[in-house]
Amino acid sequence: MHLVPTMVKFVVEYGKDSDPPPPDGRLDAPAFHRNHEPIWSAIAGFLKGQTGDVLELGSGTGQHAATFARRTPRLTWWPSDIYSSHLDSIRAWRRHEGLANLRAPQRIDLTVPDWNWRADDDASGPLAAMLCINVLHISPWRVAQNLFSGAGRLLRADGRLFIYGPFMRDGAHTAPSNTAFDAALRAENPEWGVRDVRDLRTLADEAGLSLFEISPMPANNLVLAFARAVRQN
Ligand SMILES: C[S@@+](CC[C@H](N)C(=O)[O-])C[C@H]1O[C@@H](n2cnc3c(N)ncnc32)[C@H](O)[C@@H]1O
C-alpha cells in the first residue's frame, strides 16, 4: 500500500510567504474559514448576553475579532498581537468593517508576565471575556502561564476566558492527527507543543479560575471556557 504522508501545517506569521501581499493589507487565515462558526457556537451563548469589553490575545489577521464584533454590538472588542504585520492586518480589517465596537489593535506579548491591556482612555478595567485562538501550542509554556495569570487579574467576577485549539487529555493525544501535529511543532521549536487540558486546569487553579465548559470542535479541537472559581466555605 502506498501511504501519502500527512501534511502538518502551522502558521507563525500570516502573509510572510504570501505573494503578492493583499492590496489593502487585510491578511487571510485559511483556518479562520473552517473554525470561526464552530468557535462562535461555543462562545455565543455567553457573549450575546453580555455588555463590556472583550480582549483577544494573538488575534493574527483580525478576522475572528471583526466577525465576532459584528455579531455582538453591545460588546467592545480589543484585538492584540505581537507582530506588526498582524497589527497592520487587524487595522485593515477594522477599516474595512467600519465597526464602532471593534477598537484599534494593541501590541500585547504574553511572554511578559505582567502584561496588560489599554482602553482608549488608557484605563484597563475588568473584562467581560478574553479569547485566545490557536496560540498556546505555537508559543512557549510561559505564554499559557501568563495568559492564565492575566485572566486571574483582568477578568471581572462573571467573566470568561475562552481558549481554542488542539489539546491533550490526561497525558494522551485525542487523535493521530494531533500526535503528528504535536511532533511537527516540537521539531520546529522544542518550546512549542499541543498542551494538556490537565496542565491548563492547574494554571487556572493557581489564577483562581476553574474549567467551566469543554466544547468539542471539528478536527479534534476544543473550546475551553474558564470562569472564576466558586469559593467553597
Ligand atoms: C496560529 S496564529 C493564530 C492567530 C489567530 N488567533 C487565528 O486563529 O487566526 C498564532 C498567533 O499567536 C500569536 N502569538 C505568538 N506568540 C505570542 C505571544 N508571545 N504573545 C501574544 N501572541 C502571540 C502570533 O502572533 C499569531 O498571531
Residue 50, in any domain of the structure:
yes
HEC per residue, 143-183: HHHHHHHHHHHHEEEEEEEEEEECEEECCECCCHHHHHHHH
> In terms of residue numbers, what domain contains 43?
35-228
Nearest atom in ligand 1 to 32's CA: 9
Task: Taking residues 197-214, report their average pLDDT.
Answer: 98
Question: Given ligand 1 and candidates 34, 64, 81, 117, which is best to mutate, with the most ligand atoms within 8 Å of its CB?
Answer: 81
Measured between alpha carbons, how far is 133 from 163 in angstroms, rounded to an integer? 6
Cα-Cα-Cα-Cα torsion 91, 87, 187, 221, nearest 10 degrees, comes to -50
44 within some domain: yes
Rounded Cα distance between 116 and 74, Å, is 23
In a domain, 165, yes or no: yes
Is residue 139 lining ligand 1, measured as CB closer than 6 Å?
A: yes
In a domain, 195, yes or no: yes
Whether the pLDDT of residue 2 is over 90: the answer is no
Domain assignment of residue 132, yes or no: yes
Alpha carbon distances (Å) from 59 to 106, 151, 183? 10, 16, 24
Per-residue pLDDT, 1: 35
Residues in Cβ contact with 187 at an 8 Å cutoff, skipping those fewer than 6 apart: none
Is residue 63 in a domain?
yes
Helices and strands (DSSP H and E) totals, the chain: 6, 10
Distance from Cα 2 to the centre of ligand 1, integer Å: 36
* Residue 101 alpha carbon to ligand 1 centre in Å: 22
Q: What is the CATH number of the domain that holds 120?
A: 3.40.50.150
* CA–centroid distance, residue 5 to ligand 1 (Å): 27
List, for residues 104-145, the tens digit of each pLDDT value.
999 999 999 999 999 987 667 799 999 999 999 999 999 999
Ligand 1 neighbour 87 (Cβ under 6 A): no
Sign of the C-alpha dihedral, residues 182, 138, 211, 61?
negative
For residues 20 and 6, give the distance between their C-alpha atoms in angstroms, rounded to a whole number: 27
| Within a domain: 21 | no
Compute the average pLDDT of residues 207-220: 98
**Distance of alpha carbon 18 from alpha carbon 38, whole angstroms:** 26
What pLDDT is recorded for position 35?
A: 98
Q: Give per-residue pLDDT as tens, 76-91.
A: 999 999 999 999 999 9
What is this structure's pTM?
0.95
Tens digits of residue pLDDT in 20-77: 778 899 999 999 999 999 999 999 999 999 999 999 999 999 999 999 999 999 999 9
* Count of domains observed in the chain: 1
Look at residue 57 and tell me if it is in a domain.
yes
User: How confident is the model over 163-198, as pLDDT tens digits?
Assistant: 999 999 999 999 999 999 999 999 999 999 999 999
